[in-house]
Amino acid sequence: MRQMTLIAFLQAQNCTNFASSWRHPQSRTDTWSADYYRHIGRVLEEGKFHLGFFDDRLSMPDMYGRNHEHTVRHGIRCVKLDAVTVLTVMGMATERLGLGATYSTSYYEPFHVARLFATLDLMTDGRAAWNVVTSLNDGEAQNMGRDEAIAHDLRYDRADEFMEVVFGHWDTWEDDAIVQDKANGLFARPEKVHRLDHRGRYFRSRGPFTVPRSPQGHPVIIQAGQSGRGKTFGAQWGEVIFVVYPNIEIARRDYADFKKDVARLGRDPGHVKVAQLINTVSAATKTEAEDKWAVINKLPLEIDALSLLSEALNFDFARKDMDEAFSDAELKEMSGLQAIRDRVVQASGKKNPTVRDFIHFSGRGRVHDPIVGGPKEVADKLEQWFAERACDGFVVSATHVPGAYEDFVRFVVPELQRRGLFRKEYAGKTLRENLGVPIPRVGAWRGTYAMGSV
Ligand SMILES: Cc1cc2nc3c(=O)[nH]c(=O)nc-3n(C[C@H](O)[C@H](O)[C@H](O)COP(=O)(O)O)c2cc1C
């Protein structure tokens, strides 16, 4: 029977992606301690989650009013740790849980990223994943030696070449290159270790790469592009895809279209897992879950939304009054997550929405459309999406940590297992084995991207 993929949407920061979560009475306050991340890792592994994945951004959300005062005062994602270091700690506290981190293609050299994730993959016995992002706002650019973020489509052009370099390096060591014949003094066969000699439009990298392949070949690639260009990139390179489909009808259609795109590129659609972003508030009964939700729903402040909208759209919302409509030129200026802008235009039914419309229709800063219920209600909803092929699984975000994951593991996971929708044990040791995504054959991604067998 087809099995659901479950991923935890984690942040190495002072709150979850719900900025007010730090004010929740049960949120832990030591979010920069190793023990906090070890605990989350163990909870997720007990719940047999496939993957704990950390998002990232290379700056505080200080675009609103061009000042970080409000960000720090209200704790709006102002502490952000290096996710790969945090993952290493989590990897040492777990044995089967997959470990994903976000890294940008716009601010690092591909050699560096290839080596970092290949090393992480070895140190976790083949459990690493890389969420490939192109980065979206000027705050990140200004922290990383540039004035502004690269234009949307151009950053994906660079990202394509970035991936060629990374994959090229990951293919350097053929599977049977290493001999370690001490008696004859042969460490590895030189004819099986290759130089890349990449000289492209945006990058140059010679090689040979210095990290051999891991038990799962190389890290799993995650992607979450929502624009046409982003989706094509995901279909080309991604193995786990994050989506934010607005409802099940659109989800069924977009999911089918996406899988067709994957097949058109010569890849097996069954080997690319599509995971829908969800928020859950779960408890032993529906009434208890509703009580929990009432507490959570009181936490957000308007400033959370204004700050996060400014950050995500790379546009200072302090420039406008609450009920002032954005001009066509201003809407065009929004260069970050354009999918949010487009959603607000569509949902408000206004060609030129106001700031208030953005707050209301984007849901930014609030818990968006949560599934609130006991085991049955939450599992019913997940089962429907999964069974009707609206997705292959879910990226579960948290209203507060560790409570939201403890509740999910205690109340929802057993019900999914009872229904035969979710496995009771890990299938294997590596993330690929657990996801059912094959080990990539060396060189297979060139030309048509075809994978080998598991
Ligand atoms: C679940 C999810 C997680 C994401 N995590 C990050 C992240 O950590 N850092 C980041 O810069 N962008 C992140 N993004 C943004 C995507 O990488 C992508 O830029 C966005 O969905 C817009 O699509 P586009 O780039 O095709 O316009 C995330 C998106 C989703 C849906």
Position in ligand 1 atom list of the atom nearest CA 233: 26
Position in ligand 1 atom list of the atom nearest CA 56: 8
Query: Which residue's alpha carbon is nearest to atom 30 within ligand 1?
Result: 224
Say how many Å lie between the CA of residue 113 and the centre of ligand 1: 18
**Ligand 1 pocket, CB under 6 A:** 9, 55-57, 102, 131, 133-136, 224-227, 229-230, 242, 244, 277, 337-339, 395
Say how many Å lie between the CA of residue 86 and the centre of ligand 1: 20
Say how many Å lie between the CA of residue 224 and the centre of ligand 1: 5
Q: Which of 57, 133, 144, 157 to mutate to test the pocket of ligand 1 (most atoms within 8 A of CB)?
A: 133
Say how many Å lie between the CA of residue 336 and the centre of ligand 1: 10
Query: Which residue's alpha carbon is nearest to atom 11 within ligand 1?
Result: 135
Q: Which of 18, 59, 63, 337 to mutate to test the pocket of ligand 1 (most atoms within 8 A of CB)?
A: 337
Query: Which residue's alpha carbon is nearest to atom 20 within ligand 1?
Result: 225
Q: Is the pLDDT of residue 453 over 50?
A: no
Can you give the pLDDT at residue 137? 86
Per-residue pLDDT of 266-299, as tens digits, reads 999 999 999 999 999 999 999 999 999 999 999 9
Region at 109 (left for phi over 0; alpha for psi -120 to 50; beta for the rest) = beta
Can you give the pLDDT at residue 447? 62
Can you give the pLDDT at residue 450? 38
Per-residue pLDDT of 130-160, as tens digits, reads 999 999 889 999 999 999 999 999 999 999 9
Task: Give the number of other Cβ atoms within 10 Å of residue 424's Cβ.
Answer: 10
Query: Which residue's alpha carbon is nearest to atom 19 within ligand 1?
Result: 225
Can you give the pLDDT at residue 338? 86
Can you give the pLDDT at residue 100? 98
Q: Is the pLDDT of residue 454 over 80?
A: no
What's the pTM value of the predicted model, to 2 decimals? Answer: 0.95
Position in ligand 1 atom list of the atom nearest CA 136: 11
Query: Which residue's alpha carbon is nearest to atom 5 within ligand 1?
Result: 55
The pLDDT of 170-181, averaged and rounded, is: 95
Which domains does the chain show, CATH number per domain? 5-299+367-435 (3.20.20.30), 302-362 (no CATH)
Say how many Å lie between the CA of residue 133 and the centre of ligand 1: 6
Q: According to the 3-state scheme, what is the secondary structure of the chain? A: CCCCEEEEEEECECCCCCHHHHHCCCCCCCCCCHHHHHHHHHHHHHCCCCEEEEECCCCCCCCHHHCCHHHHHCCCCCCECCHHHHHHHHHHCCCCCEEEEEEECCCCCHHHHHHHHHHHHHHCCCCEEEEEECCCCHHHHHHCCCCCCCCHHHHHHHHHHHHHHHHHHHCCECCCCEEEECCCCEEECHHHECCCCEECCCCEECCCCCCCCECCECCEEEECCCCHHHHHHHHHHCCEEEECCCCHHHHHHHHHHHHHHHHHCCCCHHHCEEEEEEEEEECCCHHHHHHHHHHHCCCCCHHHHHHHHHHHHCCCHHHCCCCCECCHHHHHHCCCCHHHHHHHHHHHCCCCCEHHHHHHHHCCCCCCCCEEECHHHHHHHHHHHHHCCCCCEEEEECCCCCHHHHHHHHHHHHHHHHCCCCCCCCCCCCHHHHHCCCCCCCCCCCCCCCCCCC
For residue 3, name the pLDDT band (cuts at 50, 70, 90): very high
Query: Which residue's alpha carbon is nearest to atom 29 within ligand 1?
Result: 224
Q: Is the pLDDT of residue 68 over 60?
A: yes
Task: Give the number of other Cβ atoms within 10 Å of residue 306's Cβ.
Answer: 25
Q: Is the pLDDT of residue 337 over 90?
A: no
